[in-house]
Amino acid sequence: MDNKNKTTILNLTKEEFVHPGNRACSGCGLSLVYRTALKALGKDTILVVPPSCLTVMQGLHPIASTKLPCVNVTFASTGAAATGVRAAMKALKKENVNVVAWAGDGGTGDIGIQALSGACERGEDIIYICYDNEAYMNTGVQRSGTTPQGVLTTTTPIKGKLQEKKDVPSIIDAHGIGYVATASAAYPLDLYDKVKKATTMSGPRYIHVHTPCPPGWSFDARFTIKIGKLAVQSGLFDLYEIIDGTFNLTGQSKKLIGKDKIPVLDYFKTQGRFKSLDEQIVKKVQDQVNAKWAQY
């Protein structure tokens, strides 16, 4: 996106689609992501949400925190449910509606991957937003497929997770869909522009958002943005777009090309969840990051 077209805090719409005083934890990365993305999606949007922190944030019957129509669906069926909403919109000749699936990392990359894969393969006209807080936070911080290696969770309580993080956006990209992007809660305007761009396209569009979680990652609620930025500035989580198969780094990640980056250890040190990491894993991750960036 050209610099002149980038959204800034000065021209970001003031319209809100999320009521204040909702049930998000203080410092919640998701609440930032949700508020920002909904601004970009606008009024003519239908949301599909499986169980996740968002289900709780949405509020308890009969009060809702979102000013958009939303259907809560079963954990594994998000991609299918979004398909169903789009099919209904086609049947009812209501074409100008954004159908947006919104799920966590477990709901996307673990239990929800079959329905999402099916929707991508069929070329469904939906936007799928995954907020990745790297574990099952809503149920109390259990490991998920996208939990990074070495992280302490309630189901990896002593040694940390033994396996590496599942690369969900790459799996989705392998379906050959037109738009795959990553974003971060720490760079909300970059996220806004990506969601906005997605609304101008058709077919399956997938946005994977790195979303710090104070209680789950064990850090003070005031550091959400700082930690989200460190993940990007250390080169660990990259902001990019893949448009019709062409990969480009964007925003802050693009600025890091050819520059020295913050050591990943500086990111790890900010969070209690990494406290059992040994030097060996830290070195391995740093080597992986260096090798990845050598290719950019």
Partner 1 sequence: MHIIESGNVAAATGVKLSRAQVIAAYPITPQTPLTEKLSEFVEGGELDAQYIPVESEHSAMGVCIAASTAGTRAFTATSANGLLYMNEQLHWAVGARLPIVMCVANRGIGAPWTVWNDQQDTIAQRDVGWIQIYCNDHQQIIDSVIKAFRLAQSVSIPVMVCYDGYLLSHTYMPFDQPEQSKVDTFLPKFAPTHFLNPDDPANFNTVTLPDVRPGLDGKMAPGYIEIRHNLQEDLRASLDVYEEIDTAFAKDFGRGGNPFVEQYKCEDADFVAVCIGSLSYQLRDVIDIMRDNGVKIGVMGVQMYRPFPNQAIIAALDGKKCAIVFEKALSYGNQGALYADIKSALYNSKDKPLVHNYILGLGGREIKTRHLLDALNESCTAPETFGDSPRWIGLKL
* x/- letters, 41..60, toward partner 1 (CB under 8 A): --xxxx-x------xx-xxx
CA-to-CA separations, 15 to 19, 24, 36, 92, 164, in angstroms, rounded: 11, 20, 10, 28, 40
Nearer to partner 1, 48 or 236 (CB): 48
219 with 141: CB under 8 angstroms? Answer: no
Report how far residue 256's alpha carbon sits from residue 268's, in angstroms, rounded to the nearest whole number. Answer: 19
The yes or no reply on residue 79 touching partner 1 (CB under 8 A) is yes
Residue entry with tokens 């990506």: 194
Nearer to partner 1, 81 or 183 (CB): 81
Residue entry with tokens 């809503």: 138
Task: Give the residue, chosen from 4, 10, 20, 62, that forms a contact with partner 1 under the rule CB under 8 A.
Answer: 62
Task: Give the residue, chosen from 30, 33, 85, 137, that forms a contact with partner 1 under the rule CB under 8 A.
Answer: 85
241: CB partners within 8 A, 6+ apart:
179, 180, 181, 194, 197, 247, 248, 250
Report how far residue 15's alpha carbon sits from residue 40's, in angstroms, rounded to the nearest whole number. Answer: 10
Nearer to partner 1, 67 or 196 (CB): 67
Task: Give the residue, chosen from 31, 36, 77, 146, that forms a contact with partner 1 under the rule CB under 8 A.
Answer: 77
Report how far residue 268's alpha carbon sits from residue 12's, in angstroms, rounded to the nearest whole number. Answer: 32
Q: Taking the complex as a whole, how short is the minimal distance between the CB of residue 42 and partner 1, in angstroms?
A: 9
Nearer to partner 1, 72 or 155 (CB): 72
The yes or no reply on residue 61 touching partner 1 (CB under 8 A) is yes
The yes or no reply on residue 174 touching partner 1 (CB under 8 A) is no
245 with 219: CB under 8 angstroms? Answer: no
231 with 210: CB under 8 angstroms? Answer: yes
Task: Give the residue, chosen from 18, 37, 115, 137, that forms a contact with partner 1 under the rule CB under 8 A.
Answer: 115
76: CB partners within 8 A, 6+ apart:
50, 111, 112, 114, 115
Q: Which one of 29-37, 110-118, 161-169, 194-202 is the stretch in contact with partner 1 (CB under 8 A)?
A: 110-118
**Structure tokens given for 114:** 């079959």
The yes or no reply on residue 83 touching partner 1 (CB under 8 A) is yes
Report how far residue 27's alpha carbon sits from residue 34's, in angstroms, rounded to the nearest whole number. Answer: 13
Nearer to partner 1, 55 or 218 (CB): 55
The yes or no reply on residue 220 touching partner 1 (CB under 8 A) is no
Nearer to partner 1, 66 or 250 (CB): 66
Q: Which one of 109-117, 179-187, 190-198, 205-213 is the stretch in contact with partner 1 (CB under 8 A)?
A: 109-117
Question: Applying CB under 8 A, which residues contact partner 1?
Answer: 43-46, 48, 55-56, 58-64, 66-74, 76-77, 79-85, 87-92, 97, 114-115, 117-118, 121-122
